[in-house]
Amino acid sequence: MKLLIAPLDWGLGHTTRCIPIIQYLLQNKKKVVFAGNEFQKKYITTYFPQIDTLTLEGYNVHYSRSRAGFIWSLFRQLPKLYKTVQYEHSWLLKMAALYNFDGIISDNRYGLYHPNIPSVFITHQLQLHTGLGKFADQLACQLHERFISRFHTCWIPDVAGHDNLGGKLSHPEKLPQNTNYLGWLSALQTPELPANTHKHILILLSGPEPQRSILSDILWHACKDYTGNIIFVEGRQQVQSRADIPKNIHWKPYVTPKQLQPIMQEASLVICRSGYSTLMDLVTLQKKAVLIPTPGQTEQEYLGKALHQKGVFYSIDQSLFQLAKVLQDIQTFPFRLPVIKPSMKKEREEILDQWLASL
């Protein structure tokens, strides 16, 4: 049985959350072919050097420095994004004829559906927030649902019920047909034993430019007066080293998930973006976190606000961040993190088994 799996290139999170799925497929002796851009392929083969890869370029979205500019820049790029969807569908038809795939798993790539091959669409967003008002949200959701309906199945990397991470994004009033909650997907492993969680604060940067660099400068300046240990991860492989690094700050350009596991596990606090895959990592390791949503990225802004109101993670606007004030505020913040139930993995495997049996 040969299966194609291809994640979106908007951030690394879409790729990392496919890792548990690929692991299970390989354990069950399935042939997995991974499709993505050069960075995604290089990244995934560090985990699975045995799998074949195909080149499929991403959407290559450009972002603005301001919040309003961020939203409108995405709006202006919609024609280009639609052409990319058409291209990847045409690409899939050609590759399917060449490789005879038995099944297709697409993480948020709208064009990777096939009329004759069972195809799955993975998303944590069924209810979209455009930031352009209710009417724009309705139009976006209608278009979103139309694309999802072309797939045979939809998998949501979240849980049903109150203790979820996605809120309204992953829990719309009406679920599409053939939709299953897959549970949280993380490349990190739940530790068997408690770790020493008082070693350092972890600053973990990620996301698109120029906002990644803007936040990096804000946090670097904020850390200068802090005397405790900090591990500062820039989140880019090619980035210029900081000058005059204080002895209490361990600066790193980039870490792999295997390197991230012990660093995050031993942190007393994580300061990071509110990207959904990062949230799943935090819950997996049961880490307290301060979320700083990317300005203008309405999904992250919604998640930060919703989880702050639920008392799960502390969230603050990028322009208001002050380290001393944040460290004071979190002393009384509840941090009611949802716990991964032992049955979650079993339930996910049952969903995967049912899909495999249908191929």
pLDDT at 62: 64
Structural domain contains residue 190 = no
Closest among 20, 12, 104, 11 to 54, alpha carbons compared: 104
Residue 233, domain extent: 200-332
Burial status of residue 327 (CB atoms within 10 A of its CB: 0-12, 13-18, 19 or more): middle
The two three-digit tokens of residue 239, written as one number: 């980035």
Shared domain for 80 and 222, answered yes or no, is no
Q: Are residues 150 and 293 in the same domain?
A: no
d(CA 354, CA 243) in angstroms, rounded, equals 54
Please indicate, yes or no, whether residues 296 and 164 belong to a single structural domain of this protein.
no
Is there a domain that residue 158 lies in?
A: yes
Which parts of the chain sit beneath pLDDT 70? 61-75, 77, 131-132, 193-197
**Residue 222 and residue 294 in one domain:** yes
pLDDT on residue 168: 94
Position 194 scores a pLDDT of 63
153: part of which helix (H) or strand (E)?
strand 153-156
Task: Indicate whether 321 and 243 sit together in one domain.
Answer: yes
> Do 304 and 352 fall into the same domain?
no
CATH code where residue 276 lies: 3.40.50.2000
Please tell me whether residues 85 and 29 are part of one structural domain: yes
Same domain, 41 and 92: yes
CA–CA dist 54, 334 (Å, integer): 45
- For the chain, first and last CA: distance in Å? 9
Using DSSP's 3-state secondary structure scheme, residue 199 falls into coil
281 and 354 in a single domain? The answer is no
Residues 88 and 139 in one domain: yes
Residue 193 domain-assigned? no
Residue 270 belongs to a domain: yes
Q: How far apart are CA 301 and CA 293, in angstroms?
A: 5
Question: Does 208 fall in a domain?
Answer: yes
What is the total count of domains within the chain? Answer: 2
Q: Cβ contacts of residue 19 below 8 Å, gap of 6+?
A: 44, 47, 185, 187, 257
Packing angle between helix 276-285 and helix 257-265, nearest 10 degrees? 50
Residues 173 and 209 in one domain: no
Listing DSSP states for 270-332 in one string gives EEE---HHHHHHHHHHT--EEE-PPTT-HHHHHHHHHHHHTTSSEE--GGG--HHHHHHHGGG
Is position 262 within any domain?
yes
Residue 156, beta-bridge partner list: 181
> Per the domain annotation, does 194 fall within a domain?
no
Same domain membership, residue 78 and residue 32: yes
The answer to whether residue 191 is domain-embedded is no
Instruction: Kindly report the pTM of this predicted structure.
Output: 0.93
Determine the pLDDT at residue 64.
Answer: 63
